[in-house]
Structure 1
Amino acid sequence: MGGKVAAAYQATRGSVLDVDRAFYDGLTERAGRRRRVASHRVPIRDGLAWEVKAGQVFRIAIVDGAQVGDFNMWHRHDPRERMWASRTRQLQRAHVSTYDRLWSTLPFLRPMATIIDDTLAGYGEDAEGGRVHDLLGTRCDPYVNRLLTGEDFDFHCHSNLVRAVAPWGLTEFDVHDVLNVFQCTGLNDDDQYFMKACPARPGDYLELFAEIDLLCALSCCPGGDLSVDLWGPDARDPLSTCHPLAVEVFEVESERLAQWQPPESPAYAGGHGRRDPDVDWADLKDKS
């Protein structure tokens, strides 16, 4: 019955949710108009951070075997603007794919990146209700591990991301809720979060277009392909299921971007109901 209820947030013609699919299709590998400018590998149980300029494309890819990756993203020049998983769930969906956008936090609230290609787009919903590229859950971390097991275990996505962004001057407090790339998840009959074995295979990838200058970070999840229970009576170390991930960055021909502009934040000029005639709230926002 729930599937028949209309979404609360809906696109109107010409709004930022009304995606120009032809434009983004023209940026994919199939369109053949781009050049690789960077290539990285994320080792198993480790993290990586990298820069992407506005107007570039980046790809996260499976190389040796099924593997989940936990992804964070910030504005390169102002890390206060970062990916907002919960608003993205509302504006797009809980499991994202081609033409969905990853949105930034308030007061910025704009698309940071748009998914332009996804080899798992046809996975859909499986028999247990699982879907891929998850925004429902978040990164594994040593704190929840201590909470559930009473033990310290150093291999977690949160820790990988903390290490990855440290050279850019960011800290543990900057790491935020993630996009779980290639991860298959859902909600069971008791409305509880579940994870399944990753369905991705070598050659699969998720590709995104950078709408603004970005700092990206990816953890090669220490849970590997999630085919092994991480907690509970059957839990064991899933090291044997871990594989590296690849990251590539591409430039597209400038003429393809001739009509494109980086998105702007909503022009809200109010003061959140505050009434002080001596304060220009819009000016304060511009300076924040």
Structure 2
Amino acid sequence: MASKSFPAAYQATAGSPLSVDRAFYERVALASGRELVDSFVIPIRTGRAWEVPAGHVFRLLTVEGPQVGDLNIWNRHNPRERFWASRTRQLQAAHVTTFDRLWSTLPYLRPLATITSDTLAGYGTDEYGGRVHDLLGTRCDPYVNKLLTGRDFDHHCHSNLVRAVAPYGLTEFDVHDLLNVFQVTGLNAEDKYFMRDCPARPGDHLEFFAEIALLCALSTCPGGDLSVPLWGPGARDPIEVCRPIGVEVYRLDPGVLEGWSPPKVADYGGAHGMRLNTPPWENPASA
């Protein structure tokens, strides 16, 4: 018997930013004459941060085969505005692909980036209910690892990201919930989070269009392709299934961007029901 599907809670109205101009992003994905302006490879169990100007494209590649990565994104000029994984999960999906957008935190709430190309889009849903490019979970970190194993380990994704953003003046407090790229996850029959082996092959990619100027950071997960258990029965060091991830940044021909402009921040102006510059006894919110 086919499973029932309940309607999504968050429904787009006409003209909403959730109603993506697919023709534009298809034009971006297929644009010829791209200029490669930055390219590097992030070694295993490390992290790196990089800048992407507004209107540019950046691509993450599994250069040697399956490997998951943990992606953080900030407004390059205001790191208080950063990727909001949980709201993106509600507005888009728990696993994202082409035409999905990565949304920023309050009070800004606007698309930071839009996915333009995904070579793993055909993965779909596997026999366990798993899907790729995960927003259900978050980064591995040394604190949980210490709880589970009693040991210190300095190369979890949280730590890799902390080191990556330090040159930009950011700290551990700026590292946030993220997009697990190339990672297959789901919820099992007990409604518990599971991770399974990465399906990516050499040359697979996930590509994004930068809606505003971005600072990005990526960790190459110490779990590698997640084919080896990290905790519990059978757990062992999976270093033999760890691989690098490549990053490429492209400048587009100005003609491709015709009609596009960076999204504005949310225009809510209600001040949360508070009247400013009034004594507390006249402000209902102070009651």
Q: Normalization by structure 1: what TM-score?
A: 0.94
Q: Give the % identical residues.
A: 68
CA distance in 1, matches of 2:188, 2:132: 15
CA distance in 1, matches of 2:7, 2:108: 27
Given residue 82 of structure 1, which amino acid in structure 2 is its aligned partner? R
How far 1:278 sits from its partner (Å)? 4.5
1:27/1:33 contact within 8 Å kept: no
2:31/2:252 contact within 8 Å kept: no
2:51/2:214 contact within 8 Å kept: yes
How far 1:12 sits from its partner (Å)? 1.7
Cα distance per residue 1:174-207 (max 9 Å; x no partner): 0000100000000001100000000001010000
User: Is the aligned partner of 1:15 residue 2:16?
Assistant: yes
User: What is aligned with 1:273?
Assistant: 273
Given residue 11 of structure 2, which amino acid in structure 1 is its aligned partner? Q
Given residue 250 of structure 1, which amino acid in structure 2 is its aligned partner? Y
Cα distance per residue 1:209-263 (max 9 Å; x no partner): 0000000000000100000000002110000000000000001110111200100
Q: Normalization by structure 2: what TM-score?
A: 0.95
User: What is aligned with 1:284?
Assistant: none
CA distance in 2, matches of 1:79, 1:154: 24
User: What is aligned with 1:283?
Assistant: none
Given residue 24 of structure 2, which amino acid in structure 1 is its aligned partner? F
Is there any run of 5+ residues in structure 1 with no aligned partner, and where?
280-288
The alignment of Structure 1 onto Structure 2 pairs a total of residues equal to: 278
Q: Which runs of 4+ in 1 moved over 6 A?
A: none
User: Is the aligned partner of 1:180 residue 2:180?
Assistant: yes
Q: Tell me which moved more, 266-275 or 72-81.
A: 266-275
CA-based RMSD of the aligned residues comes to 1.2
Q: Secondary structure at the match of 1:232?
A: coil
User: What is aligned with 1:36?
Assistant: 36
Pairing of 1:43-192 with structure 2 (within 5 A): 43-192=43-192
| Distance change (3 Å), C-alpha of 1:181 and 1:41 | same
User: What is aligned with 2:224?
Assistant: 224
2:110/2:265 contact within 8 Å kept: yes
User: Is the aligned partner of 1:238 residue 2:238?
Assistant: yes
Q: Secondary structure at the match of 2:144?
A: helix
User: What is aligned with 2:28?
Assistant: 27
How far 1:275 sits from its partner (Å)? 2.7
Is there any run of 5+ residues in structure 2 with no aligned partner, and where?
280-287
How far 1:118 sits from its partner (Å)? 0.1
| Distance change (3 Å), C-alpha of 1:54 and 1:15 | same
How far 1:277 sits from its partner (Å)? 4.9
